[in-house]
A and B are shown apart, each in its own frame.
Chain A
Amino acid sequence: MNLEGKVALVTGGSRGIGRAISMRLAKDGAHVFVNYARNEKAAEETLRMILEQGGSGEVFPFDVSNYKSVQEAAGAIVKKKGRLDILVNNAGVSVDGLIAMMKEEDWDRVIANNLKGVFNCCRAVVRQMIRQHGGRIVNISSVVAATGNAGQVNYSASKAGVEGLTKSMARELGSRNICINAVAPGFIETDMTAFLKEDEREKVKSQIPLERLGTPEDVAGVVRFLVSEEAGYLTGQVIHVNGGLYM
């Protein structure tokens, strides 16, 4: 329970990996702001699950791709709670397609949410963390940032961008005791992979040494570690959580 007294913001916390992360941080004592963009019902459900397990939190809708909204949101959190210790940049979208046919808006949307959104959130919390002389930021990347994936030129670019951002921020802010890392999940059972047809699913599984898709909790456990005291010497890293799919 050693996140007692800590304030965390999880973007895209309403479903999937974000939900598991929100619940895990709340379980260990953090007060979790569960951000969502549109899916209010899912966010409220995440909050209900948090409260049901004895945790503390609240929902907070804002669009990570909107710089001003994020600035206002971070300001509101600090005004309300007096601190912001943990930021998990999990909000992400995918709009897949081959580059030969990719629309400009499909590129823009994914970059705006997945890369600019991460910049917006980091930018909005960093001064408070500097003031605190401490903070933890975890950016959710993806295995495809390292490997590439046909049909995901935009998505993989956004995630590879997040990894570069992560390393640079780690260099800039280490002197203020702020650790920033990325977690790169492989294939995880969420809405984002639910569309996989049975034969595609088996094909993917055959490439995974641990012979299964990951669960959101598999990812949340690693995020939990990264924001813990024990991970105080770990910064600027990309931790791959993929059952061995990529090494």
Chain B
Amino acid sequence: MSSIEEKVIEIIMEQLDVTKEECVPEAAFIDDLGADSLDIVELVMAMEENFAIEISDDELMKIRTIQDVIDFIKKKRGTLN
């Protein structure tokens, strides 16, 4: 697991108070991890700060799963192949 994935999951675990086992890439924030839409806003803000990126409001609306977040970060940092 790359360090981006590790960091993302660490942030999610802290923000949503969930276990590492629950944080599989396909986990959906609202349906599986018990987040509400405000949690997602907060999560995205934490990601922006931690990875020095900006996620637009339109992009935010598309985020459903942990994998979506990981993909966004990789894309923004230019490391998605």
Which residues on A are within 8 Å of B, measured CB to CB?
A: 127, 130-131, 172-173, 175-176
Q: Which A residues lie within 8 Å of B42 (CB)? A: 130-131
CB of A176 to closest CB in B, whole Å: 7
Q: Would B45 and A176 count as touching, CB distance under 8 A?
A: no
CB of A235 to closest CB in B, whole Å: 15
CB of A67 to closest CB in B, whole Å: 13
Cα distance, A131 to B46, chains bound together (Å): 9
Q: Would B41 and A172 count as touching, CB distance under 8 A?
A: no
Please give 10 more A-B residue pairs, beta carbons under 8 A apart, in addition to A127-B45, A131-B45: A127-B41, A130-B38, A130-B41, A130-B42, A130-B45, A131-B42, A172-B38, A173-B38, A175-B38, A176-B38
Cα distance, A131 to B45, chains bound together (Å): 8
6 nearest A-B pairs in the assembled complex, by CB-CB distance = A130-B42, A131-B45, A127-B45, A175-B38, A130-B41, A172-B38
Chain B positions 45 through 71: 1 when the CB is less than 8 Å from some CB of chain A, otherwise 0: 100000000000000000000000000
Q: Which residue of B lies closest to A126 (CB)?
A: B41
Q: Which A residues lie within 8 Å of B45 (CB)? A: 127, 130-131
B 17-50 contacts with A by CB, 8 A? 38, 41-42, 45
Cα distance, A130 to B42, chains bound together (Å): 7
Cα distance, A175 to B37, chains bound together (Å): 12
Q: Which A residues lie within 8 Å of B41 (CB)? A: 127, 130
Q: Which A residues lie within 8 Å of B38 (CB)? A: 130, 172-173, 175-176
CB of B33 to closest CB in A, whole Å: 16
CB of B32 to closest CB in A, whole Å: 20
Cα distance, A131 to B41, chains bound together (Å): 10
CB of A130 to closest CB in B, whole Å: 6
Q: Which B residues lie within 8 Å of A172 (CB)? A: 38
Cα distance, A175 to B42, chains bound together (Å): 12
CB of B27 to closest CB in A, whole Å: 22
Cα distance, A1 to B41, chains bound together (Å): 34
Q: Which residue of B lies closest to A176 (CB)?
A: B38
CB of B74 to closest CB in A, whole Å: 24
Q: Which residue of B lies closest to A131 (CB)?
A: B45
12 interchain pairs, CB-CB under 8 A: A127-B41, A127-B45, A130-B38, A130-B41, A130-B42, A130-B45, A131-B42, A131-B45, A172-B38, A173-B38, A175-B38, A176-B38
